[in-house]
Amino acid sequence: MKRRPFLAGSGALLCGSAGMAKAISPTHQVTLPQAHRGTLEIDTLLLDSYQKLPENVRQFYFDARKVFESGIDKTFTDPEIIAAAKRHGIALMGGPLLGQVTEQSVVLWMRPASEQAISVICGDQQVTASEVRAGQVLRLELEGLSANTTYQYAVRVAEQTVAEGEFVTAPKPSSDETFRITFGSCCHKIGVHNPNLYQTIVSRRPHAMMLLGDIAVDDRNNEVNMHRCDYQLRDVSKAFSHLAANVPLYASWDDHDYFDNDLSGIPRRYNHQDRQRVRQVWLENWNNPGGQPGQEGIYFSSRVGPVEIIMLDTRSCRDGGRRKQAGSYLGDDQMKWLKETLQRSTAPFKVISSGTMWSDYVSNGKDSWGTWDQESRDEVFDWIEDEKIGGVLLVSGDRHGARGFCLPRPSGFEFYEFEPATLGGVSGPGGIVKNCDQQLFGYSGKGSDGQPFVAFGEFTFQMGKQPQVTFRLISQHAQVLEEIELPLETLTP
């Protein structure tokens, strides 16, 4: 391992960022407890926290919110919401949101506001959906693309361009070309509207981004109508829309966008149907690859270039009454699936996400694998070593701040875990863990100037004769704060 530390605030501008717009300071500072309450007043402050939206977009959100608040059964297809979209000249209630990307294809997610045909024009091809339902999610796949190539696209409704974006296809699996993904967690509704963060990410031109939980919905429990309302708040955000239209996103959840703080499985006072409804709303509002037939959790995997992206559901598959019992974290089905996925994958590198910490170093392991299901964590790690599964990188979130750890094993092998839980700039436990020789770096949720510390993680994979991955921690203002190089052989038992 080669590590290059950068002092916070002293990093150099990254390649491609020189032409970025000047940083925008927020006009309102909303605290996390306020965001969790999610009242109309607070969400309006969030909506206007950086840039005031066009008035028709703002009014559409307010009208849609009023409908959502009127009943738990309200959905995006409600006639009143559709009428509001028409009244305010809204062609897309959400999207485009890029999803699963390969060397030959990409999937676009959209929520149309009318039943007019929608076309996506990309290069010399056009894909058209003629059967469209207002308020219902539409996914279109662009196919026949070239590997590791930049494409611009336009979304057209009634011969009018209503959205535009750009993406880079994945390199071929056997290619020696550089591949890059970004990742992070704990955006909360606060970070959804931050243009500095998302412009910096887009300027890095990653092939994809992994969102590891606590992203857009805050503490709505079983009120699925308000889950939908929070997603509508996300989808009118200019900042988040810029990210979603230009970087394919892979998303998993954690406690706040599941039910509420530290809740998992079927929480007390709720039932199986509540959990299923929340799961369904999640699936409708993200553009992830599909899971297995009959699968209940939201876990999935996807091969992208030299990387197998494996995103676990470390929330909804837990049994709330089985803490500290084997199998309580993932459940039997997901554990079996994880092993099969790792064994089947031919990707040199595997990035495995957990909504909460793999390690137990921060906050005495609060809600980590070790305090819930250490036996299953050991089972996963033992199995990876026994099967000699190479190239495993662990990523996680939940504990606000940005940290990295090596996880030593009795065999002498070490796993590496990266926790950039700073997309929302919310302060949490101290960045540095006392008496922890395993820590690689640490930042709290506040910078040295007392302002919110906002940063994301990046993996750059370089193939060839000596494959390696470089981790970087990058601030919202494009400063490299940490850089760690890991050869593939270091990640191989």
pLDDT digits (tens, 9 = 90+) for 305-314: 999 999 999 9
- For residues 152 and 177, state if they share a domain: no
Last residue of a domain, one of 166, 184, 205: 166
Query: Are 138 and 110 a contacting pair, CB within 8 Å?
Result: yes
Q: What pTM was computed for the model?
A: 0.95
- For residues 326 and 199, state if they share a domain: yes
Backbone angles phi and psi of 59, in degrees to 5: -65, -35
Buried b (16+ CB within 10 A) or exposed e, 233-267: bbbbbebbbbbbbbbbbbbbbbbbbbbeeebbbbb
Residue 86, domain extent: 32-166
- For residues 141 and 230, state if they share a domain: no
Cα separation of 450 and 271, whole Å? 42
- For residues 104 and 204, state if they share a domain: no
- Asked if residue 364 is part of any domain, the answer here is yes
pLDDT tier at 5 (50, 70, 90 boundaries)? very low
Backbone angles phi and psi of 84, in degrees to 5: -65, -40
- For residues 310 and 453, state if they share a domain: yes
pLDDT tier at 167 (50, 70, 90 boundaries)? very high
- 9-23 pLDDT, tens digit each: 323 333 333 345 688
Taking Cα atoms as reference points, which of 70, 69, 68, 44 lies closest to residue 58? 44
Average pLDDT over residues 230-240: 97
Angle between helix 55-69 and helix 40-47 axes, rounded to 10 deg: 150
Query: Are 289 and 301 a contacting pair, CB within 8 Å?
Result: yes
Cα-to-chain-centroid distance, residue 440:
23
- Among 80-89, 286-295, 462-471, the least confident range: 286-295
- For residues 126 and 178, state if they share a domain: no
What local confidence, expressed as pLDDT, does residue 82 receive? 98
CATH number at residue 353: 3.60.21.70
- For residues 156 and 110, state if they share a domain: yes
| Best mean pLDDT range from 32-36, 107-111, 155-159, 265-269 | 107-111
CATH number at residue 140: 2.60.40.10
- 259-305 pLDDT, tens digit each: 999 999 999 999 999 999 999 999 999 999 987 778 989 999 999 99
Backbone angles phi and psi of 207, in degrees to 5: -75, -25
Q: Determine what percent of the chain is predicted with pLDDT higher than 90.
A: 85
- For residues 194 and 136, state if they share a domain: no
- Asked if residue 26 is part of any domain, the answer here is no
- For residues 332 and 225, state if they share a domain: yes
Q: 297 to each of 132, 184, 332, 334, 353, how far by Cα in Å?
A: 28, 21, 11, 8, 14
In SS3 terms, the chain reads as: CEEEECCCCCCCECCCCCCCCCCCCCCCCCCHHHHHHCCHHHHHHHHCCCCCCCHHHHHHHHHHHHHHHCCCCCCCCCHHHHHHHHHCCCCEEEEEEEEEECCCCEEEEEEECCCCCEEEEECCEEEEECCCCCCCCEEEEECCCCCCCEEEEEEEECCEEEEEEEEECCCCCCCCCCEEEEEECCCHHHHCCCHHHHHHHHHCCCCEEEECCCCCCCCCCCCHHHHHHHHHHHHCCHHHHHHHHHCCEEECCCHHHHCCCCCCCCCCCCCHHHHHHHHHHHHHHCCCCCCCCCCCCCCEEEEECCEEEEECCCCCCCCCCCCCCCCCCCCHHHHHHHHHHHHHCCCCEEEEEECCCCCCCHHHHCCCHHHHHHHHHHHHHHHHHHCCCCCEEEEECCCCEEEEEEEECCCCCEEEEEEEECCCCCCCCCCCCCCCCCEEEEECCECCCCCECCEEEEEEEECCCCCEEEEEEEECCCEEEEEEEEEHHHHCC
Beta-bridged to residue 112, according to DSSP, are 92
- Asked if residue 23 is part of any domain, the answer here is no
CA angle 153, 159, 160 (to 5 degrees): 65
Taking Cα atoms as reference points, which of 145, 37, 131, 44 lies closest to residue 98? 145
Last residue of a domain, one of 148, 166, 184: 166
- Asked if residue 237 is part of any domain, the answer here is yes
- Asked if residue 464 is part of any domain, the answer here is yes
Query: Are 63 and 96 a contacting pair, CB within 8 Å?
Result: no
- For residues 182 and 160, state if they share a domain: no
How is residue 233 written in tokens? 């708040």
Taking Cα atoms as reference points, which of 63, 68, 66, 69 lies closest to residue 85? 63
Does the pLDDT of residue 70 top 90, yes or no?
A: yes
Count of domains forming the chain: 2
Angle between helix 238-246 and helix 224-235 axes, rounded to 10 deg: 80
- Asked if residue 25 is part of any domain, the answer here is no
- For residues 157 and 184, state if they share a domain: no
- 327-377 pLDDT, tens digit each: 888 999 999 999 999 999 999 999 999 999 999 999 988 889 998 899 999
- For residues 79 and 214, state if they share a domain: no
Last residue of a domain, one of 166, 201, 231: 166
